Each structure stands twice: as C-alpha cells, then as structure tokens.
Structure 1
Amino acid sequence: MRARRRRLILLALLPLLLTAGCVTPGLGGPAATTASASASRNPVPARVPRPWRPGDPQLGAQVLWYTYRGESDSSVRTQALRLVNYMVGKHMNAISMTFPFTTAGPTASQVGASSQTPSARHLGMLMDVAAAAGLRITLRPLLDERDLTARDPLAWRGSLAPADRAAWFRSYETFLAPYLALAARHHARTFVIGAELTSLESDPRWRSVIAAARRSFSGEISYDANWDDYVSRHIPVPVDHLGVDAYFPLSGLGDDASVADLTAGWQRWLDRKSTGRLPRIVLTEVGIPAESGAYRHPAAWKGGGRLDPTVQKRWFEAACKVARDRDMAGLYWWNLDFHADLAAGAPTGSHTSFLGRPAEAVISSCFRTWPR
C-alpha cells in the first residue's frame, strides 16, 4: 500500500516537475537546449577515416581565402564546416590555407596585411574545424600580385627588387609573427615561410626570418618554389621541406593529348632536376584552366581559350600519376575558393574552377586509391 501511495504521489507531482524544468537532459529540458545551442555554435565536421600520420602522403587542396568587409563569425563557421566536409568527402587528409598579403610595388621595402587578408581570429576558426576533422593543416601566406602589376604589367612576386632589402626582410618577419603564433595555437603541422619569391631566395637574411619563426612555431617550416626555379637551380632557402608550384608548360601538346603524353611531359621536366623517387617533394599547387590551349601555358589563368573540361581532367590525371610514380610527399590541388558555393559547381563563366567538372572526380579517385 505504501509503495502504491508513493507511485500515486509521484504521478501527481510529475506535471509540476516538468513545468519547473526539473527533467534530465535526455528528456529535452534546459540542459539539452543548452547543449543543442552549443553544438550549433560549434558544429562537428565529418571525420577523416584515416588521419595523416608522419610518413603518409599529404593529399589535399589549397584553400584560397580573400576576405570581404563584414564577414562574420557565423558565416565563417558555416562555410568552414561546408568546406571541410567537402574535402573529407573527396578523400583528402590535408588542407593548406593560402591567404594574401600585400606590398606597394615591385621596389617597395614594406609588406603587410591588406583589407582582404583574413583576420587571425577567422583563420583560427577554419583551422579548428579542420583539426576537428583530422585534416593535416598548413598555413601559407602568398603575396598578392595586383599592386605589383598595377605599376608594372610584367611584375610578379618572383621579380621583387626592394629598394632596401634589409628593411623588406624586417618588415616580412614582423608581418609573419602573428600568423606563426596562430599556427602554433591551432594545430598546424607546416608553415610556409615564403612562396615563389624567386628574386629574393638567395638572400642570407632568410636565416634570420626562419630562426625567428622557429622560436614561436615548432612544426615544419617549408618554402614553395615556382616550377621553373625548382628545375633550374638549387633553392637556398634553409627550410625543412620544399614544395613546388607545378605549372610545367608542355608547348608541343595540343588539346587532344593523352594522359600518357602529359605524364611523359611532366616526367621530362622533373628529370631536369633529378630522376627517380622524390619523397621529400610536395606538389603544392597543381591546377590548370579548363580551356583549350592550356597545356602550353597552364599558369595562364586568363588565357582566353574556349571551355574544355577534358583538358583539365587529363592534366589532373597526369599529375596524380606522376606524383604517385615518384613517391612524392604529397599533392595539393589549386584551388578551392573559401567562399565557393560547393554545391553549385563552377561559377558561371569561370574556366579555372574544377568544381562540378570531370577533374573533380579525378581528385576523389586519385586520393581514394593512393597507396599509403
């Protein structure tokens, strides 16, 4: 009888307990609501089935991020989640985040962030989502060439001639400092100390820049050389690993060239440097416009040819085969725009994107079947 009375009393009190919110999180009370809100603020990405480990190839894409005025924490978190989920779905295990910095002109002695350089806070958000997914993270500053070409149409980041080189390197070291600290805080494995700065590569001041970098970042320091620079000479920048922005021109091949033809062309270029395995080299940029005539000038992103997605597809197939045959340390496709609508495919009129085109399927197949 006493047990029956207790049950009746509890049944009578249950509505009051529910109204007061004194229910367990599993029943959907305030604690569950709080947890749900927290999850929406910090969404969990898909997880890489096999996260990168030392000795594994780096299989990823360069995420190019030019920020815009008014970009919010919420929009960055949402797009970071979409982007990372896309990369995991394409069997990637690595992400390289390329962000711009600027200088006033080819002879300027100062560099710095521009209005389109993402904030350290927002870069950190993307890095945290990537880390939660198990992606290997590289942080990569890249000099924006628009202020150079505005003063000299032939100028590019590889032809800088600072009026005061010592001042340029001091400025560059100052600019890099907060991003190196960011890399250390947010699980980056690699920091790219420079990319395609051909005219400055022989300067001994790199030793000071790299020594300062090592004081705040304990991971790998790398440098990305332009394709022609890589095959023609020793790159004297004293880093742990070298990357190659690989745009080897194959002037003798037309749009109907086979994958075998393209592969042989890539191999001939690489043989100018060395033959056989290249286990310490990463192809840090592999890309080509999806247009006619691109094999002759794969780095010409405004070539003006007609749209031809097959050109891009075969180039990607050849690059994958070469990197695997040479046992390279990794490959990063160029590029994924941070703000891209990943579900919509290539933007209207764009020949440079691989989204929604046959080359996109090559990326997935290449990485899914890469020996590890």
Structure 2
Amino acid sequence: MRTAALGALAVILLFGGAIDASRGALGSRPSIDDRAYVRGVALGLFATDPDWDYGPLVEEIRDRGASDVLIVVNAYQSDRFASDIALRPGRSPSEATVARTLAQVQRAGMRAALMPVVRLQNRDPHEWRGVIAPADGLDAWFASYRRFVLPLARLAQGAKAQRFVVGSELSSLEPYQDHWRALISELRSAFSGVMSYSANWDHADAVRFWDALDEVGLTAYFPLTGVEESSSTGSLAHAWRTPRREIDELRRRVGKPVVITEIGYPSQGSAASQPWDDTSSKELDLRLQQRLYRSFCDAFSETSSISGFYVWNWFGFGGPRDLGFTPRGKPAANELARCFERSWTAPTTAENGS
C-alpha cells in the first residue's frame, strides 16, 4: 500500500495502550491443504527507531483475536529509475528487530509471515513502486533486490515463519518472469515455508510466475462501485459481488489458493471508492471504515473464495481523530475482533482448480 511511515513512535504505544484498554534447518514445505484459514493483521515495522520494540503492538493484535501477523519491512531506492535498494536508517528496521518481532508473534500464539516492500525515497505524487523502470537494466535491479530479500528469507526460516512474500505490487517488473523464477528458486534454498507474491488488485493477471509459488497473494483495494458514503453495510457487501467473482476466476485459472495480503480502509469519506489512498479525502469517517470491514467480512465469510486475509495495517497512532489505515482505537478494531470470530472456510483443492 502506498503510505508514508510515521515517526515519534513512543506516542503510539502510550496512546494505543490507553485506547485498547477498553476492550531451523530446511525441511519439506507445509501442505497447503493443512493450513488453517488466515485471519490476519499486517504490522509494518515503520518506526524511525530501527531497534523499536513492537511487542506491545503484537499483543494488541493477539488480543483482537487474529491468528496470523504479516510483518512488513520497507527498503528504499532513490527513485523509480534507480537500482540502489537498501534498508535506510530512520526508515527501516534492523535485522535484529525483524527477528525479534517474528519471535514475539510466535510466542503470542500466532503464525508469522514476512513481506519485504520497496519504496521510492524521491517521487512525484503519483509515482510508486508499481512503475519502477531501472535505468541500469533489470540485472542490476534484481541483484540489488536479491541482496534485500534473501537475508529476510533466512530470518523467516530461522523464526519458523509460515509464509514469505517474495514481492509486493511491483507491477512494472512482473513481466520479467525469468528474473522472478531465478529469484524464487534461490529463495527456496533459504526458506522452506509457503511462498507467495502480492499482486495489485488490478494487475494479478499480468503475473506469469504464479506456478513457481505456493499461492496467489492479492492486495484487495477494489473500489466498490454503485455505493455512497452513507450506504448500508448490506449495500457495501453487495458491491463486493464483482470483485469476489474476479477473485474466484483468478483462483481457478491459476489453480492456487488466494490469500489477500492487504485489505484495508482509511477512516475517511473516500474509503469505499478509493480504499488505497489515505490522502484523498481528509474527511474523518470512522463509521464508514467500520462498515467497510463488516461488509468485507459479510461478503467472504459465507463463501469459500479465499484462504485468508491480512488487514492493513495495525501500525499507526490510531484513535478517534486519526485519518489513516490503522484500526487502533477506532470502531473498526472491535468490528475486526467480531470478524475474526466468524466461521471461515478455505476452498478445497478441487475448488482451487488444481
């Protein structure tokens, strides 16, 4: 998701604690069919302190009833034409912090996943990682990307994480399947768990290397059409019919399970029509965010379309005046707790088309 990191994280934990008070060696890969449904939350390690302790946030996620946590690690390249991907001081966590957070998730009784994300340090307002075009050529960019993700795959293996997402929303680079297949093969030597890639909601068909992965990852920022800010939860759930059909068709065509790697809404009036953008409205609407999560849960909990989802994103100040994605301290947090308690059913192997 295209969102900026926050600073001054001490305030997050002090404020978040108050508002929540109201409520190894490589082995064989795990069987896809044996995995329990993913009822997860993404946790971006976006603090300005690279050694920040995310343990209290992990506990908040556990207390909401989530089964899984997707740890998100940002690295940066100078601009969309660069090939200098690296963890950046003040913007990226240390490897020790990543390892510690993965362990904290496991100790809290949840399953851990890890997703590396590339961001642009210098960009125009409408530029993002989906339009990267390395001037030095593909070989240079993928070599730099490999240096970023391979150590993270090893960390995930050491922490016995369940899932590693090899990339996120790199739309302009998805056609180069030979580079991706070579990278995935090398990552397989470092990580024995489930391997996925997170495609943007409108670009999954362009990915030609799904067969090299265990499942399809999808950022599900589908705009809901034919609805308004004041629409009922039922109307919002009804608007999910077309996106859900597209997901079903993708799953059958690829023959792999689909896990939504990001489903999120800013607490703004534009969230139904532009769920990917937390800058477009600036009109606070906590109840719309809550209704949108309820509508998603209504639309998918009674079907076997997907094998799970991660809510984007727990990191953030939260609270009743916050316009961002985080559900912390908002009506959406309690809505998600109720959502996680529902009965969820993943598609069978036959339903996946495999």
Please state which band the TM-score falls in when normalised by the shorter chain: 0.7 to 0.9
Which structure has the greater CA radius of gyration? 1
Pick aligned residue for 2:96 from 107, 121, 135? 121
Indicate conservation of the 8 Å contact 1:284/1:332, yes or no.
yes
Indicate conservation of the 8 Å contact 1:141/1:194, yes or no.
yes
Indicate conservation of the 8 Å contact 2:46/2:74, yes or no.
yes
**Counterpart AA for 1:218:** S
Percent of aligned pairs with the same amino acid? 28
In 2, Cα distance between equivalents of 1:134 and 1:291: 33
**2:40 corresponds to:** 60
**2:336 corresponds to:** 363
1:90 aligns with 2:84: no
- TM-score, L = length of structure 1: 0.76
- Give the 3-state SS of the residue equivalent to 2:239 in structure 1: helix
Write 1 or 2 for the structure with the bigger share of helix. 1
In 1, Cα distance between equivalents of 2:309 and 2:46: 22
**1:350 corresponds to:** 323
**1:133 corresponds to:** 108
**Counterpart AA for 2:96:** R
Indicate conservation of the 8 Å contact 1:323/1:331, yes or no.
no
Pick aligned residue for 1:225 from 190, 199, 202? 199
Q: Summarize deviations over 1:91-136 as a string: whole Å, max 9, x none.
A: 1110000010111111112312111211111111111111112211
Indicate conservation of the 8 Å contact 2:268/2:323, yes or no.
no
Question: Which sections of structure 2, spanning at least 5 residues, go unmatched?
Answer: 1-32, 346-354
**1:329 corresponds to:** 307
Q: Give runs of aligned pairs for residues 200-211 of structure 1, distance below 5 A.
A: 200-203=173-176, 204-211=178-185
- Give the 3-state SS of the residue equivalent to 2:195 in structure 1: strand
RMSD after superposition: 2.3
Cα deviation for residue 321 of structure 1 reads 2.2
- Inter-CA distance 188–351: structure 2 relative to 1 (3 Å threshold): closer
**Counterpart AA for 1:154:** H
Indicate conservation of the 8 Å contact 2:175/2:206, yes or no.
no
Indicate conservation of the 8 Å contact 1:323/1:330, yes or no.
no
Pick aligned residue for 1:158 from 121, 126, 130? 130
Choose 218-227 or 101-110, whichever is displaced more.
Answer: 101-110
Indicate conservation of the 8 Å contact 2:282/2:323, yes or no.
no
Q: Which has the higher contact order (CA 8 A, sep 6+)?
A: 2
Cα deviation for residue 83 of structure 1 reads 2.0
Question: Which sections of structure 1, spanning at least 5 residues, go unmatched?
Answer: 1-52
In 1, Cα distance between equivalents of 2:153 and 2:199: 20
- Give the 3-state SS of the residue equivalent to 2:175 in structure 1: coil
Cα deviation for residue 165 of structure 1 reads 0.6
**2:158 corresponds to:** 185
Equivalenced residue count is: 306
Q: Summarize deviations over 1:282-334 as a string: whole Å, max 9, x none.
A: 11111111121321111111122421111101110111123323322111111
